[in-house]
């Protein structure tokens, strides 16, 4: 790829994840949202992620588990078909594909326990779930908008899964960029659809256990006369019972600030300003604190570029990157 020939998108509209990226690392934002670069090759991690399966279970709701189970089976068959057709996959990826059934068992156990621990009242109804919303140049997908039928009050509901301590994930959530952006989008959606603006939020958070089906479950299955999957499910359930609120919680809070506080408005304007800069890497700074270089316990996909001068990027771009398409293309 010749840097002078790179096509450029205008970087708008902006999502919560794009705003977060731009606020933390200008260079990452430029490469991802203006040059639209991504690492070459197929990304196998997302379909095999425990959190993805759990979110699908929560989206479909209690009693509709078969829908998610069919989805997991389809994905497993799809990736097995790719492998059989000669798609290159490393050993870890093959293990993940073969382990999808175990992941589903774990996710379903998590969901059932959550539904039992925090049942939804019959006086609450979901207005929208996984709702994509665009307001002016801000867009995003809101997990859920819920209404309390006796009063017509609406609230945002967000589902979170993590392998980290729940306290570290939820600290500052009420004034974080994600919730504030979702509130902005949800209020616009509610107004357009004749509902009151959200008065608060509920965050449903679950810690993902590092428990796999193993010999322990095979031995217990023989002793108890059940399947290894059922023995495994019982062990996961006991893990959550032992952990209590450290592993599963549902917290509610009222909104007590303006819809667009100064901090959020500054964030919006920061990204709008980034989108006006000439599309040249020299105009965008790297995160010199390095906190975004390994955010979410994953190395930034553009790290190898940041370690080189832009004049040396051509070979790296040709060998390891490709452009992902979008309708939102600006002028170079």
pLDDT at 230 (0 to 100):
87
Burial of 170 (0-12, 13-18, 19+ CB in 10 A): middle
pLDDT above 70: residue 309: yes
User: In the CATH hierarchy, which fold is given to the domain comprising 124-208+247-262?
Assistant: Trna Endonuclease; Chain: A, domain 1 (3.40.1350)
Q: Residue 208: CB partners within 8 Å, gap ≥ 6?
A: 50, 51, 54, 106, 110, 161, 162, 163
Average pLDDT, the chain: 89
- Residue 1's pLDDT band, with cuts at 50, 70 and 90, is low
Instruction: List the domain boundaries for the chain.
Output: 3-35+279-323, 40-117, 124-208+247-262
pLDDT in tens, 134-193: 999 999 999 999 999 999 999 999 999 988 888 888 899 999 999 999 999 999 999 999
pLDDT at 329: 39
- Burial (CB count <10 Å: 0-12, 13-18, 19+), residue 106: buried
pLDDT band at 101; cut points 50, 70, 90 = confident
- Lowest-pLDDT choice from 89-98, 167-176, 193-202, 241-250: 89-98
Which of the four pLDDT bands, split at 50, 70 and 90, describes residue 90? confident
Measured between alpha carbons, how far is 235 from 217 in angstroms, rounded to an integer? Answer: 8
Query: What is the largest distance, in Å, between two alpha-carbon atoms of the chain?
Result: 69
The two three-digit tokens of residue 124, written as one number: 């609450």
Burial class of residue 46 in the structure, from the number of CB atoms within 10 Å of its CB (0-12 exposed, 13-18 middle, 19+ buried) = exposed
With cut-offs at 50, 70 and 90, classify the pLDDT of residue 43.
Answer: low
User: What is the pLDDT, as a whole number, of residue 76?
Assistant: 87
Q: Which of 171, 165, 97, 157 is nearest to 127 (CA)?
A: 157
C-alpha–C-alpha distance, residues 236 and 211, integer Å = 7
List the structure tokens of 216: 């322990």
Q: What is the pLDDT of residue 2?
A: 65
pLDDT of residue 48: 52
Q: What is the per-residue pLDDT for 254?
A: 96
Confidence of residue 45 (pLDDT cuts 50, 70, 90): low
């Amino acid at each position: 790829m010749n840097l002078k020939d790179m096509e450029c998108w205008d970087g708008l509209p902006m999502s919560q994840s794009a705003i977060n990226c731009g606020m933390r690392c200008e260079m990452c934002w430029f490469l991802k949202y203006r040059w639209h670069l991504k690492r070459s090759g197929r990304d196998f991690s997302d379909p095999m992620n425990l959190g993805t399966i759990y979110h699908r279970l929560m989206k479909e709701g209690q009693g509709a588990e078969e829908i998610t189970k069919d989805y997991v089976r389809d994905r497993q068959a799809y990736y097995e078909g790719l492998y059989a057709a000669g798609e290159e996959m490393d050993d870890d990826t093959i293990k993940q594909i073969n382990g999808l059934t175990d992941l589903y068992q774990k996710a379903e156990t998590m969901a059932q326990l959550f539904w039992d621990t925090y049942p939804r009242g019959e006086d609450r109804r979901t207005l929208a779930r996984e709702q994509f919303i665009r307001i002016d140049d801000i867009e995003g997908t809101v997990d859920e908008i819920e209404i309390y039928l006796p009063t017509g009050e609406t609230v945002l509901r967000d589902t979170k899964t993590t392998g980290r301590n729940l306290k570290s994930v939820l600290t500052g959530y009420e004034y974080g960029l994600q919730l504030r952006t979702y509130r902005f989008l949800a209020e616009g959606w509610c107004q357009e659809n004749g509902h009151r603006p959200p008065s608060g939020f509920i965050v449903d958070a679950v810690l993902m256990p590092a428990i796999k089906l193993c010999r322990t479950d095979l031995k217990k299955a023989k002793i108890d006369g059940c399947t290894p999957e059922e023995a495994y499910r019982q062990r996961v359930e006991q893990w959550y019972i032992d952990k209590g609120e450290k592993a599963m919680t549902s917290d509610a809070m009222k909104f007590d600030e303006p819809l667009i506080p100064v901090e959020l408005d500054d964030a919006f304007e920061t990204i709008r300003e980034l989108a006006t800069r000439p599309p040249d890497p020299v105009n965008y700074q790297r995160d010199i604190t390095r906190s975004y270089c390994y955010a979410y316990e994953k190395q930034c996909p553009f790290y190898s570029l940041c370690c080189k001068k832009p004049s040396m990027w051509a070979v790296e771009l040709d060998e390891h990157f490709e452009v992902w398409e979008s309708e939102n293309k600006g002028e170079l």
